[in-house]
A and B are shown apart, each in its own frame.
Chain A
Amino acid sequence: MACCLTLSQYAQAQTDADAIMIPKNYLCAAGVYTHSQWDHYWEGTFKRDAPNLGTVSSNAYMLGFVYGLTNTIDVSVSLPYVSTNASAGTLRGERNLQDVSAYVKWLALKQEIGKGSLTFHAILSGSIPASNYEADYLPLSIGLHSKNVALRGLVNYQISQFFVAGAYQYVRRSNITIDRNSYYTTEMHYTNEVEMPNVSNYLVSAGFRSLQFNAEAVLTKVNTLGGFDIRKNDNPFPSNKMNSTLAGVIFKYSFQKIAGLELTAGGNYVLKGRNVGQARTGYAGIYYIFNTRKEK
């Protein structure tokens, strides 16, 4: 999920945003590298450059696991290490473990309709910060440090090797604690706690899936349900109204000679945003899927 001005996108073969399931007792181990950068951002709705930051970039190195609890329930856990950098100005970047994420993905419904197959997935996910990183250091903080719980509904319709999908996710975010004991949003607050607005997102995707090769295009719209705009030339703040519309692609290749080994690559671009950077993001991952039980 596009979260902030630092922006970190993680996508994998089996994600909390697709209709792919891992069979019972199978484990998928993943390593994903993500690079993201921007040199323009939106201050409210005003698009501008950032000469005192130059290009803001982030690198994330993620390790994750997905496990097939049953044929209809997968569980996953992942953790990225993230570093940020500004190419101009004097501000230091930040680097640390970011947030531990976990999800449970449930194939709730599968129905043959016409020539195709319709599925509905419910995905419950959560994340908690894995380190005491400084969230109130935008746009160079590695994350927002809230504890999140999210529920996503995903509908997928597949005919032969072609599919279309749509999903909606609601993310509830906890308050965060910052290093200051007062701050100004649209009014003064005398506390070190910040109320984080909740977030929702929609996505539509379409593509091709075969055993060997997947290709998918995704359009995502992220809305912050509340929050406030960065004022002209002010600093960003964790509870800003961070919205974005992203267009992206995902590719996956499964080796036939080495069973279970997959490569993924993809990227996305912020077409339109509010209080976020116009990020270009690319990622590449390696996956290994294997059965944890001997076949009988």
Chain B
Amino acid sequence: MLLGVAVCSSSCKKDIVDRTQQYPALNPSSLDLNADTWKPVLLSDFSTLTVVAPDAVTSPAYLADINEIKASQRNLTADQKASIKYWSAGAVLRWNEIMRELVAKHNVAPYQNIDGTYPAPNSANPFNYPEFPFSNPPYAARAYAYVSAAQYDALLAAWHFKNTYKRTAPYKNDAAVQALIPTSELPSYPSEDAVVEGVTVELMKLLFPTELEYINQKAQEEKLYRIMAGVNTRGEITAGESLGKQVAVLFAARARGDRAGKAIGTPAVWAALQTTAIDPGKFWVSLETPKRPPMLPLFSKVLPFLFDTLTVVSLRPAAPYLSNSAEFKKEVDEVASYSKNRSRSQEEQVAFWADGIGTYTPAGHWDAIAADEFVTQNYSEVRWARNFALLNMAEMDAAIVCWDTKYFYFNQRPSQADPLIKTLTGVPNFPAYTSGHSNFSGAAATVLTYLLPDRGSKFTDLAQAAAMSRLYGAIHFRSDVEVGLVTGNAVGQYAVNRGKADGAGIK
């Protein structure tokens, strides 16, 4: 009876706090008004973009917009207030979260056909099973990068037009308009939230075509939030959305031509990998039943953001230990020992960093880590975008370099070398050398340490933990993770160098 009472007193609490719901409203310590002088990713000239001059604040059109704000503020429902609180944390942040959710939702490998082959997603017919996309780690890293980079360029353009037109916010022009989120001296035309929404929705159509209804619903919520919060008029939102869509065209064109669409390869490509493998006869083989084709073997050919394709090859690390070497045998034995003698804290580390199917992948994990840090920094919307762009371009390029290494050497997994090795998490369906987690984590930690130097070794410690989790999980050799971290760091340094030269600096 006592047990029952004791159990009830702790089990009767069912409310769970989601930490992203606790994020405060964006309240930038600096407006970064000079962001239109920062170096964009693809944009070359703001004059190629059209944002018509806003109506005068005395015009009937503007006054009608102001009246719309006042009417919307009169009877705010609890849901509308919750929407204001949610979106006030920032557009770049919330859209990054939405992307992470969609990546997790679509990160499930296709189920086999009756004949033991596997169907592939088809972007031309995205609703057919398996739905497009299968947002595996390389796909996800690329998706985050495109959206982040495009948001960044779009916001640079937004800042340009804000500085051009210098329209003051609705709550400054009419005392009866209440600002329901922190006020700002930032010119409000075009709306930065609508710019982010416009550019993001256009790219999401390409990246997550089956989610259009959900994405549009979020877009509607966000636009209405700006009006209800008293910080943008409909005209400012329309102009912002249009600007965002114009910038999206540049990035969508790049995405269509970046070779990712062919990354899946063909049966001939898959077969050829066995002949080019570094260790003849000991090449990677799928450990799944039925055997699944390797994940995106030609992702190595995708065009990186931070360097050219020759650099991808130059970043490729030296060959892994061959299976007949003493070093290799030693590494197999080490994995076997972690497989057999695992501590609960190692299990926890493996699970924490697993980022396997049904998750937002390692790149998304690092975005989540970054978001938890960035919310404490009082960044402007444009600095949020710039920092996520640096981080996610590094993650995508780390994926490209890592995939190049994996498929150039085509090296086996520990459980292949020793079938008695049992793993603490699923074995990813691609070669071992080098570890993807280690590349992603090395790159991310390098970028985040540059952006937030006061955090000391926090991010490199996290990257080390992420990398080692793959050894503890018995799915990688020690050299996979150690070399992967080094390569990831090198890729991250390209993003740091870009950051040092883009005019934004750190703050």
Contact = CB atoms under 8 A, between A and B. Distances in A.
Contacts of A194: 16
Contact of A146 (B11, B357, B474): B11
A51 to B, nearest CB: 4
Interface residues of A, number: 48
A125 B4 contact: yes
Interface in B411-426: 415, 421-426
A182 B11 contact: no
B406 to A, nearest CB: 18
Given A149-B8, A174-B10, A128 B16 contact: no
B360 A182 contact: yes
Given A52-B289, A91-B426, A190 B368 contact: yes
A233 B101 contact: no
A149 B18 CA distance: 26
Nearest to A49: B289
Contact of B358 (A137, A174, A235): A235
Interface residues of B, number: 54
A90 B421 contact: yes
A110 interface: no
Contacts of B56: none
Interface string A159-197: 000000000000011110011111110011111011100
Interface string B98-117: 00110011001111000000
B104 A188 contact: yes
A179 B474 CA distance: 18
A179 B16 contact: no
A114 interface: no
A182 B108 CA distance: 17
A10 B129 CA distance: 40
Interface string B1-29: 10110111011111011111100000000
Interface stretch (B60-68, B277-285, B346-354): B346-354
B434 interface: no
Most chain B beta-carbon contacts within 10 A, residue among A104, A128, A190, A194: A190
A234 B13 contact: no
Given A147-B11, A149-B4, A191-B19, A180 B354 contact: yes
A88 B419 CA distance: 11
Q: Of B4, B108, B359, which is in contact with the most chain A CB atoms at under 10 Å from its CB?
A: B4
A190 B19 contact: yes
A127 B451 CA distance: 48
A92 B357 CA distance: 18
Contact of B357 (A125, A128, A188, A234): A234
A231 B368 CA distance: 24
- From DSSP, what is the main secondary structure of chain B's interface residues? loop
A102 interface: yes
A104 B351 contact: no
A189 B351 contact: no
B74 interface: no
B422 A90 contact: yes
Nearest to A54: B289
A97 to B, nearest CB: 13
B471 to A, nearest CB: 15
Interface string A85-103: 0001111110000000010
A92 B20 contact: no
Contacts of B1: 104, 124
A136 B7 contact: no
Contacts of B7: 126-128, 147-149, 174
B352 A149 contact: no
A212 interface: no
Interface of A: 51-52, 88-93, 102, 104, 124-128, 132, 134, 136-137, 146-149, 172-175, 178-184, 187-191, 193-195, 231-235, 237
26 contacts: A90-B421, A90-B427, A91-B422, A102-B3, A126-B4, A128-B3, A128-B7, A148-B11, A149-B4, A149-B8, A149-B11, A172-B8, A172-B11, A175-B13, A179-B351, A180-B351, A180-B359, A184-B359, A190-B18, A194-B16, A233-B111, A233-B357, A234-B108, A234-B357, A235-B356, A237-B358
Given A180-B351, A234-B358, 6 more contacts: A126-B8, A134-B344, A149-B7, A182-B360, A232-B111, A232-B129
